[in-house]
Amino acid sequence: MSEDQKETGQKNTGKQRAGISRRGLIGAAGAAVATGVAGYAAHSIVSTPESQATDTTGPVEFYGEHQAGITTPVQDRLHFATFDLTTTKRDELISLLKKWTAAAALITAGRDIGQYGAMNGPAQAPPEDTGEAVGLPPARLTLTIGFGTSLFVDAKGNDRFGLADRRPAALVDLPHFIGDNLDPARSGGDIAIQACSDDPQVAVHAIRNLARIGFGTTSVRYSQLGFGRTSSTSRAQTTPRNLFGFKDGTNNLKLEDTAKLEDQLWVQQEDGPEWMVGGAYLVSRRIRMMIETWDRTSLSEQEGIVGRGKGTGAPLGKADEFDAIDFEAKGSDGELKVATEAHVRLAHPSFNNGAELLRRGYNFVDGSDGLGRLDAGLFFLAYQRDPRKQFIPVQRQLARSDVMNEYIRHVGSGIFACPPGVQTGSFWGEKLFV
Amino acid sequence: MITFTTRRATATAVPLLAALLLAGCADETPQVTPGDATGPVAVKATESECELSRRDVKSGTSTFSVSNGGSKVTEFYVYAEGDRVMGEVENIGPGLKRDLIVELPTGKYQAVCKPGMVGDGIRGDLNVTGDATAQIDTDTALKQATESYQRYVNSQAVALEEKTTEFVAAVKAGDVAKAKELFPISRTYWERIEPVAESFGDLDPKIDARVNDVEPGTEWTGYHRIEQALWVSNTTKGMEKYADQLLVDVKTVVAKAKVVKLNPLQLANGAKELVDEVATTKITGEEDRYSHTDLWDFEANVEGSQAAIQALRPALQQRDPALVTTLDTNFKAVFAAVDKYRVGDGFKPYLPTEAERKELSTVIDALAEPVSKVAGVIAKK
């Protein structure tokens, strides 16, 4: 069967596709298969934020108005990759997006990709699915796609796929921020795919298989693993800690704030372009943390830099993590409790024309740097309605004044237009090509 | 007579090999008597010309009598569509004459001379007319594939022995310059059929081990042992015994390769192994770490892979024509990428920037995926 036939076969069968349930493969006995199917069905009906935040094994619906993996309660693990297209043909790009969408629908449902999956194919052929997720649950895997600026117009100004006039005005090239030390090999990319899951192997399996499908059409530009979430996107979740040891994402946009999401996250009809309505813009930043020097910093200085208590996560001068920050409060010494250059102040909406971000970044440690230090940090991911009004002004202010800058370096960067959700029978970004 | 000038300046794709039928050498007894009433086609090859005494032949068995009037070693090929090799003679030295006896069904072909044994070659049309247009079934096509590929292996093995003999002679004569020149050339024939050679157990490590492949207590021998002396110490001193051993080992491989029996799946898997070989040890530059002649090996691996795939082509065409198109496109892209490093009859030293390495890696990955699918298609009943 050719690739095209496979693709059509998968598309036509829609959500009830032929992929093999990974659970069904665990036991050879029929009883095991039945259990697997029942378990799968049960997961499908319990997809409230609360249950998703607590049940870390079930599937997250792939189809919908918005792409999954944005407001979805943040999973624990990340595998993020960007791809450069090696093809110059628009129809090959479209074909790739169709194949990827079909595969994504299967993998997120906890199924093997392809007609035969990981182990049931012909013995002489390489298995269609790479197999390392066999026996693992869907683990709330989400796959979220975004299109980089270079997909529309490359660095030399070429309209590579006849998409130049479809480039959203909000998909700007990010400006240089003070202190940026960006590695081109860890920045940019024509297409980004964010895989989030509560099981690291499930996330890696997804990117690996999508990369494999892409060979000949795309090439991985870089990929990044994240081992722990640094924010919460639902009030049902607790606030995790970043590698500075501080709670991160307390004031994040939450999926329960539906009105705010329309205002701050989702691209609206009046924003245009049409193909992006219901989508969002993603900014990725690989932020290296100088954790060894941070660790030598006194507790009071650490708290002063962040503007929150390290234990409770409460704003300085307050008792509870979720207490409103009092930016005017002064201590007995007459100094502001939350200093003028504290991170929480400079990043706060009240000092940024109300701009908010939906953050879902991850801690990373990519081994060590050869100097005896951990190559560690935060892989920052932020979704928003318009980076020109949100990420860019906020980051400009942080880059200029944030006292935390002494301990961080922005070493990678990307900006992507993430289209709205996929409907059954459609594919990622279909409206872009209409 | 029509002459053709080289296309290399404009075209990028390098073709490949796979004898479909009966490549014989003039100094061997031909296995098929040239029975065509119209007689042999004389081919006059030089550096810049590839003249055929006629370009219309009848279907059935044809003989091409190739004389090399140039100063470079040349090769002669008859290609069917997609540069599928119907027949070939390798390693025709200056002043030598060799015969190619090949069975050609009705159709359009290209006759190609490759002076210097590299590049696209000097090409001209060859028209075969008559009624022998047998439509073969897949089983027959697969059987022919193995016969074809075994002839390819045979012709490469013969050239491997000849060129290694020359290389060894240069080393023993203390001619460093000549040995350096012959090192990548003799390895080309080795690299094209490496999976076959690897199947003969311990011969591969004896001939082709890199220094880090050798177990403690075992002596390091073979091509790379001599490579190190030539490039690092700029000498052949002390290499005589390794040269002698290399020739003994190569002759053993050649003798075995000439009688090896392969099945279609081995062809498919060999094609895959060759591309994998490029992806893991050629891209990195670890193969020829002293001479930096990796691109000869790189190209030879891909040529060898394509030879096996092209032998399978008629069967693949029947079962998965889309895969054949993808393979054609992606082989072409790899050769185009390698061609950027070509200088004269060889290559620039392989000392790539990270961006260059990534570019080569990308085209190889793009090729490796569809090549890996061939075995499954071939195995399908």
In chain B the domains, ranked by start, together with CATH numbers, are: 1-134 (2.60.40.420), 146-379 (1.20.1420.20)
Instruction: Give me the pLDDT at residue A8, please.
Output: 34
CB-based contact B378 A124, cutoff 8 Å: yes
Tell me if A11 is assigned to some domain.
yes
Distances B378 to A24, B16, B267, B381 between C-alpha atoms, Å: 29, 21, 10, 8
Facing A125 at nearest CB: one of B330, B363, B379: B379
Mutation for B interface: A96, A115, A119, A215, most B CBs within 10 A:
A215
More confident call, A24 vs A109 = A109
Give the mean pLDDT of A5-31: 42
Distance of CA A51 to the CA centre of its chain: 20
Alpha-carbon gap: A266 to the closest alpha carbon of chain B (Å): 36
Among A15-19, A108-112, B277-281, the minimum mean pLDDT is found in A15-19
CA–CA separation, B345 vs B348, rounded Å? 10
Would you call B169 an interface residue with chain A, using a CB distance cutoff of 8 Å? no
Per-residue model confidence as pLDDT tens digits over A41-74:
333 344 566 666 667 899 999 999 999 999 999 9
**Residue with structure tokens 């202190």?**
A179
Range of the domain at A226: 3-238
Displacement of CA A1 from its chain's centroid (Å)? 34
CB pairs below 8 Å between A and B: how many?
47
Q: Is residue A280 in a domain?
A: no
B378 touches chain A (CB under 8 A): yes
Tell which phi-psi region holds residue A234, choosing left (phi > 0), alpha (psi between -120 and 50) or beta.
beta
Q: Is the pLDDT of residue A392 over 50?
A: yes
Q: Do the Cβ atoms of B85 and B77 come closer than 8 Å?
A: yes
Residue A219 distance to chain B (closest CA, Å): 6
Distance from CA of B13 to the nearest CA of A (A): 17
pLDDT digits (tens, 9 = 90+) for A325-348: 999 999 999 999 999 999 999 999
What was the pLDDT predicted at B33?
A: 39
Residues in B touching A121 (Cβ below 8 Å): 376
Cβ contacts of B353 on chain A, cutoff 8 Å: none
- A220 forms bridges with which residues in the sheet? A83
What pLDDT does A412 receive?
98
Q: Provide the 8-state DSSP code for A257.
A: -
User: Any CB–CB contact under 8 A between A185 and chain B?
Assistant: yes
**DSSP β-ladder status, A362-368 and B41-45:** unpaired
Cα–Cα distance for residue pair B347/B352, rounded to 1 Å: 12
Position A23 scores a pLDDT of: 52
pLDDT tens for each residue of chain B, 381 residues long? 343 333 333 333 333 333 333 333 333 333 333 444 468 899 999 989 999 999 999 887 788 999 999 888 888 988 887 777 777 888 788 888 888 887 788 889 999 998 887 777 899 999 998 875 555 677 888 888 888 898 899 989 999 999 999 999 999 999 999 999 999 999 999 999 988 877 777 788 899 999 988 888 889 999 999 999 999 999 999 999 999 999 999 999 999 988 888 889 889 999 999 999 899 889 999 999 999 999 999 999 999 999 999 999 989 999 999 999 999 999 999 999 999 999 988 999 999 999 999 999 999 999 999 999 999 898 876
CA distance A216 to chain B (A): 4
> Which residues in chain A have Cβ-Cβ distances shorter than 8 Å to B328?
none
**Which residue in chain B is spatially nearest to A185 when comparing CA positions?**
B355
Dist. CA A90–CA A14, nearest whole Å = 24
Residue B140 C-alpha, separation from nearest chain A C-alpha, in angstroms: 20
What does the DSSP 8-state code read for residue A421? P
Cis peptide before A273 (omega within 30 of 0): yes
Q: Quote the number of domains for chain A.
A: 1
Instruction: Report chain B residues whose CB lies below 8 A from the CB of A215.
Output: 365-366, 368-369
Q: Between A121, A125, A216, which is nearest B370 by CB?
A: A216
Contact B72, B47 (CB under 8 A): yes
> Best interface-test mutation with A: which of B362, B364, B372, B380 has the largest number of A CBs within 10 A?
B362
Intra-chain end-to-end CA distance of chain A, in Å: 28
DSSP state of A387: T
| Closest listed residue to residue B34, CA positions, set B50, B52, B21 | B21
Q: Tell me the residue length of chain A.
A: 434
Residue of chain A nearest B320, judged by CA positions: A2
pLDDT at A52 (0 to 100):
64
Query: Using CB atoms, which residue from B323, B367, B380 is nearest to A2?
Result: B323
Q: Residue B291 burial (CB < 10 Å; 0-12/13-18/19+)?
A: buried
Decide if B89 contacts B74 (C-beta within 8 A): no
With contacts defined as CB-CB under 8 Å, which chain B residues touch A2?
320, 322-323
Residue A166 confidence (pLDDT) above 70: yes
In Å, how far is B357's CA from the nearest CA of chain A?
A: 13
SS3 A346: helix
Do B366 and A86 count as a contact with CB atoms less than 8 A apart?
Answer: yes
Q: How close A286 comes to chain B (CA, Å)?
A: 21
Q: Which residues of B touch A3 (CB under 8 A)?
A: 322
**CA proximity to A302, closest of A341, A244, A345, A347:** A244
3-state secondary structure chain B: CCCCCCCCCCCCCCCCCCCCCCCCCCCCCCCCCCCCCCCCEEEEECCCCEEECCCEEECEEEEEEEEECCCCCEEEEEEEHHHEEEEEEEEECCCCEEEEEEEECCEEEEEEECHHHCCCCEEEEEEEECCCCCCCCHHHHHHHHHHHHHHHHHHHHHHHHHHHHHHHHHHHCCCHHHHHHHHHHHHHHHHHCHHHHHCCCCHHHHHHCCHHHCCCCCCCCCHHHHHHHHHHCCCCCCCHHHHHHHHHHHHHHHHHHHHCCCCHHHHHHHHHHHHHHHHHHHCCCCCCCCCCCHHHHHHHHHHHHHHHHHHHHHHHHHHCHHHHHHHHHHHHHHHHHHHCCEECCEECCCCCCHHHHHHHHHHHHHHHHHHHHHHHHHHCC
Q: Given an 8 Å threshold on Cβ–Cβ distance, is A216 in contact with B330?
A: yes
Please name the residues between 254 and 273 in chain B that touch chain A, using a CB distance below 8 Å: 265, 268
Q: Which residues of B264-283 are buried (b: 16+ CB within 10 A; e: fewer)?
A: bbbbbbbbbbbbbbbbebbb
Give the number of other CB atoms < 10 A from CB of residue B76. Answer: 25
| B265/A212 CB distance under 8 A | no
Residue A322 is assigned to a structural domain of this protein: no
| Cα A53 to Cα A49: distance, rounded to the nearest angstrom | 6
In terms of DSSP H, where are the helices of A143-290? 149-152, 200-214, 258-264
- Is A373 a member of any domain? no
Collect all residues of chain B within an 8 Å Cβ-Cβ radius of residue A4: 322
What ipTM does the predicted assembly reach? 0.75
Question: Which of B41, B137, B119 is closest to B75 using CA atoms?
Answer: B119
Buried-state track A147-158, b at ≥16 Cβ within 10 A, e below 16: bbbbbbbbeeee
Cβ distance B326 to A216 less than 8 Å, yes or no, reads: yes
Q: Has residue A164 been placed in a domain?
A: yes
| Interface contact flag, A126 B373, Cβ < 8 Å | yes
Selected for mutation to probe chain A from B369, B371, B378 (highest A CB count within 10 Å) is B369
Residues A424, A92: contact at Cβ < 8 Å? no
Count other Cβ atoms within 10 Å, centred on residue A391: 22
Query: Does residue A396 lie in a domain region?
Result: no
Residues 324-353 of B with CB under 8 A from A: 326, 330
- Residue A393 contacts B, CB cutoff 8 Å: no
Give me the mean pLDDT over the A248-263 stretch: 94
A233 occurs within a structural domain:
yes
In a domain, A407, yes or no: no
CB contact under 8 A, B373 and A125: yes
